[in-house]
Amino acid sequence: MNTVLLSIILIPALEIYLFIKIGSQIGAFNTVLLIFITAIIGVYYAKYEGINTIRSGFVQVIKNEVPAYEIISSAAIAFAAILLIIPGFATDLIGFLLIFPLSRKLIFGNLSKKFNEKQTNKKNFIEGEFEEIEEDDDRKV
């Protein structure tokens, strides 16, 4: 079965189950309030982490390095903000895991290292051929 189709079915089912379980423990009003609070806090923290990631990316560019981790991190933060806006506890948990720098480093650290290794293995010169032109040659530029 297609992974996307399975996700579309299972994620809302999991969220409904968690709504019922948590709502029965803390009450309906507190459950709704908790969902709004996690969304608001998550979006503001995503904005904060996004700005820090952009600053770090500019530092990498100034150092003449490829900001591979910062690019991956920015995409993860944007995805995390979307997950935090979507009502639900499971999506909030995944969103917060993607927003915090420590867990993001654990998840995406190896991917950025592989990209940086590819960049360092590249040669820093361009191969080409040349031809010397003598002064009395008609092909002067």
- Per-residue pLDDT reduced to its tens digit, 82-104: 999 999 999 999 999 999 989 88
- Could you tell me if residue 31 is inside a domain? no
- Could you tell me if residue 20 is inside a domain? no
Among 113, 91, 114, which Cα is nearest to 38's?
A: 91
Q: What is the pLDDT of residue 32?
A: 92
Q: What is the pLDDT of residue 77?
A: 92
Q: What is the pLDDT of residue 140?
A: 54
- Could you tell me if residue 70 is inside a domain? yes
- Could you tell me if residue 45 is inside a domain? yes
Among 80, 112, 122, 65, which Cα is nearest to 57's?
A: 65
- The pLDDT tens digits of the residues spanning 38-77 come to 999 998 999 999 999 999 999 989 988 888 888 889 999 9
C-alpha span between 40 and 34 (Å, rounded):
10
Q: Number of structural domains, the chain? A: 1
Is pLDDT larger for residue 107 or for residue 96?
A: 96
What percent of the chain has pLDDT above 70? 87
For residue 125, the surrounding DSSP H or E stretch is none
Please state the pTM of the whole predicted model.
0.73
Which domain does 89 fall in, by range? Answer: 36-112
Do residues 106 and 73 make contact, with C-beta atoms less than 8 angstroms apart? no
Q: What is the pLDDT of residue 8?
A: 87
Supply the mean pLDDT for the chain.
85
Q: What is the pLDDT of residue 79?
A: 93
C-alpha span between 103 and 87 (Å, rounded):
22
- Could you tell me if residue 10 is inside a domain? no
- Could you tell me if residue 71 is inside a domain? yes
- Could you tell me if residue 83 is inside a domain? yes
- Could you tell me if residue 44 is inside a domain? yes
